[in-house]
Amino acid sequence: MDINLTINGQPVSVKAGSTILEAAEKLDIRIPTLCHLKMDCFHVDHRSASCRVCVVEVKGRPNLAPACSTPVAEGMEVKTNSLRAINARRTMLDLLLSDHPKDCLICPKNLHCQLQSLAQELGLHQLLFKGEQSTYNRDLSSNAIARDLDKCIMCRRCETACNTIQTVGVLSAVGRGFQAVVAPAGLKPLAETECVFCGQCVQACPVGALSEIDCKYPVWRALNDPTKTVVVQTAPAVRVAIGECFGMEPGSISTGKLVHALQMLGFDKVFDTDWAADLTIMEETTELIERIKKNEKLPILTSCCPGWVKFLEHQFPDLIYMPSSAKSPQQMFGAIAKSYYAQKIGVEPKDMVVVSVMPCLSKKYEASREEFSHDGVRDVDIVISTRELADMIREAGIRFDQLEDRPYDSPLGESTGAAVIFGATGGVLEAALRTAADWITGEDVKAIDFEAVRGLEGIKEATVKVGDLELRAAVCSGLGNARKLLERIRRGEAHYHAIEIMACPGGCLNGGGQPYHGGDETILAKRLEALYRADRDLPIRKSHENPSIQKIYEEFLGEPGSHAAHKLLHTTYTPRKN
């Protein structure tokens, strides 16, 4: 049923249950808002109506109405640009600014801050209200996410991301009135909570209240230390997003420019996490086939995503036996770089610095886990986000969009199409299926595009014929979806051989460290398509056919699942108290 109304004298028809804001969007009438976020990629429409910046005048009603949460009604007459509405918006914005720090020049969200943009849009150049400002200690406890509650505007978008989408349940409104903020209960530091550091709260936050822990300066110091050999790895999803930071279209594949920029920054070697993704497939697929043969510990759960792994450790400790014991590609790369590669070039592991460029903030946390440190030497030393690398490139005065393409260095830079799709939801499972199909059948299977596990849907299921085996698989992205699927498994309602889980909706391409997308699913869809385009364009599309991977097993590891492989490339998981 459609509802007919007028906005600023223009007639419009929208579905029953639509809001005034949605009706205005249909007419291309902009109503400013801070708290509202249509999170298309999560299929969630956040409507807290807490900022009151989107108020409009509705004929016959004495009070102004928040457009983001007021449902339309038949015959409704709305004015979005009346003097009363405009003055009310300016007053609300003035009140928000009165209790907000004025350190815009050094804020991590500078030029990406929606409060800043709205103040400019509404022409606020002086403050009417001045007085007391709330003050809190910054929370830098987690190695991943920085929390500055002085900047919290109580929009509650992070709360929706944490509780509704991810179902982690760490963030909620704390305090009342002037002292109200969104934080963990009791204002606990994030490191003392069940936070998985996925960073979806950072993506949702419109201001600088949430950001990543800044690790750019440790990288600069390492690059300028002549006693260190500094190598860098870049994750699959970075190459299809970093161009956005330099005005390039979403979905631009910037692999060659990325390598060139990193070389100009001074890294001794520029390698590819995709190489380690191929290595991961060798170990994970070996484990999958062994479990299927023994019919035990099924379904196997992928273990590439540290946010998902920490979620499992907190929320589903009874299923701790299910994940693959294989480390993530990031950690496998670090372990190999500081053993196999360090030996090749005659460098002591303690004198090598491994830097990761990741789309994910939880990777910062992962690198700091005790399991990934040996004799005081960490597998991965420093993790920076896609955004942080873009900052470094700008700081160095590099014109990224004008760089010529260059190839990765060898031997840890050679990879396959199977590896690059790790950046998309479903990509890890598809890469494993390509190798499993060959190994189980003993043939070179040509049909390697497993379309059923692709796409941005939160839960996908597929049955794949592999020889005589009908392999039942599921793909899950977003921890709220993971919870639904795992609870079905707990109850015995779902049965699979393999499940891929990514913490971030859409996978790593939508990681908390990627360029801000404002909930726009079209941007994510373009990044997704670019990853599969990169896969199609590579000459080798199966991980086990990577000559560099074959060589490391011949020279160093023996065979997949060997003692040497388990020592370097596998780990264990720990049930954690809630």
For the stretch 532-554, pLDDT in tens is 999 999 999 999 999 999 999 99
Active-site residue (options: 304, 305, 476, 504): 304
Is the Cβ–Cβ distance between 445 and 308 less than 8 Å? Answer: no
Res 259: pLDDT: 98
Mapped onto helix, strand or coil, the DSSP state of residue 301 is: strand
- pLDDT tens per residue, range 49-104: 788 899 999 999 999 999 998 999 999 999 999 999 999 999 999 999 998 999 99
pLDDT band at 36 (very low <50, low <70, confident <90, very high): confident
Buried-state track 478-512, b at ≥16 Cβ within 10 A, e below 16: bbbbbbebbeebeeeebebbbbbbbbbbbbbbbbb
554 catalytic per annotation: no
- Across the strands, what pairs with 10? 7
pLDDT at 44 over 70: no
Mean pLDDT of 181-209: 95
pLDDT at 41 over 70: no
pLDDT band at 520 (very low <50, low <70, confident <90, very high): confident
pLDDT at 40 over 70: no
Mapped onto helix, strand or coil, the DSSP state of residue 291 is: helix
Q: How many CB atoms lie within 10 A of CB 220?
A: 15
Active-site residue (options: 107, 155, 198, 508): 508
Active-site residue (options: 290, 371, 451, 559): 371
pLDDT band at 466 (very low <50, low <70, confident <90, very high): confident
Quote the CA–CA distance of 128 and 339 in Å, as a whole number. 62
Report the amino acid identity of residue 133. Q
Please give the class, per CATH, of domain 104-213: alpha beta
Res 133: pLDDT: 83
Domain 217-569 of CATH type 3.40.50.620 = no
Active-site residue (options: 212, 284, 500, 521): 284
Res 225: pLDDT: 97
| Residue whose tokens read 């550091």 | 197
Active-site residue (options: 363, 460, 526, 542): 363
Res 243: pLDDT: 98
Local structure of residue 164 (DSSP, 8 states): I
The sign one gets for the Cα dihedral 448, 452, 455, 461 is negative
Quote the CA–CA distance of 429 and 421 in Å, as a whole number. 10
Res 414: pLDDT: 95
pLDDT at 448 over 90: no
Q: What percentage of the chain reaches a pLDDT higher than 70? A: 98
Res 336: pLDDT: 97
Lowest-confidence pick of 438-442, 445-449, 562-566 = 445-449
Res 46: pLDDT: 60
For the domain made up of 2-98, give the CATH fold.
Ubiquitin-like (UB roll) (3.10.20)
Residues 6+ apart with CB under 8 A from 371: 571, 572
371 catalytic per annotation: yes
The sign one gets for the Cα dihedral 378, 379, 385, 389 is positive
Is the Cβ–Cβ distance between 379 and 331 less than 8 Å? Answer: yes
Active-site residue (options: 254, 303, 324, 339): 324
Active-site residue (options: 287, 388, 414, 430): 287
- For the chain, the domains span 2-98, 104-213, 217-569
Is the Cβ–Cβ distance between 498 and 435 less than 8 Å? Answer: no
User: Both tokens of residue 336?
Assistant: 């190999």
Res 43: pLDDT: 56
Mapped onto helix, strand or coil, the DSSP state of residue 231 is: strand
- Across the strands, what pairs with 210? 147
- pLDDT tens per residue, range 355-400: 999 999 999 999 999 999 988 899 999 999 999 999 999 999 999 9
Active-site residue (options: 366, 414, 430, 521): 366
Is the Cβ–Cβ distance between 352 and 338 less than 8 Å? Answer: yes
In order of 1, 219, 264, 437, the CA distances from 398 in angstroms are 55, 17, 8, 44
Quote the CA–CA distance of 258 and 254 in Å, as a whole number. 6
For residue 411, cis peptide bond before it (omega within 30 degrees of 0): yes
Quote the CA–CA distance of 76 and 334 in Å, as a whole number. 61
Mean pLDDT of 4-12: 95
Q: Between the CA atoms of 446, 450, 451 and 454, what dihedral angle is there, to the nearest 10 degrees?
A: -140
Average pLDDT, whole number, for the chain?
Answer: 94
Please choose, from the candidates 388, 409, 408, 390, the residue with its C-alpha nearest in 3D space to the C-alpha of residue 399: 390
Res 47: pLDDT: 63
Res 473: pLDDT: 95
287 catalytic per annotation: yes
Res 42: pLDDT: 53
Instruction: Please count the CA atoms within 13 angstroms of the CA of 158 that sit on its side-chain side.
Output: 29
Mapped onto helix, strand or coil, the DSSP state of residue 82 is: coil
The sign one gets for the Cα dihedral 435, 441, 445, 451 is negative
Mean pLDDT of 461-488: 93
Q: 366: burial class by Cβ within 10 Å (0-12, 13-18, 19+)?
A: buried
pLDDT band at 463 (very low <50, low <70, confident <90, very high): very high
β-strands 352-358, 373-374: how paired? unpaired
Lowest-confidence pick of 325-334, 389-398, 513-522 = 513-522
- pLDDT tens per residue, range 249-306: 999 999 999 999 999 999 999 999 999 999 999 999 999 999 999 999 999 999 999 9
Is the Cβ–Cβ distance between 364 and 356 less than 8 Å? Answer: no
- Across the strands, what pairs with 2? 15
pLDDT at 233 over 60: yes
Lowest-confidence pick of 44-48, 222-226, 405-409, 484-488 = 44-48
284 catalytic per annotation: yes
Quote the CA–CA distance of 52 and 396 in Å, as a whole number. 41
Lowest-confidence pick of 111-115, 178-182, 344-348 = 178-182
- pLDDT tens per residue, range 139-151: 999 999 999 999 9
pLDDT at 48 over 80: no
Report the amino acid identity of residue 90. R
Q: Between the CA atoms of 545, 547, 553 and 556, what dihedral angle is there, to the nearest 10 degrees?
A: -170
Length of the chain in residues, anyone?
Answer: 578
| Residue whose tokens read 């000459």 | 539
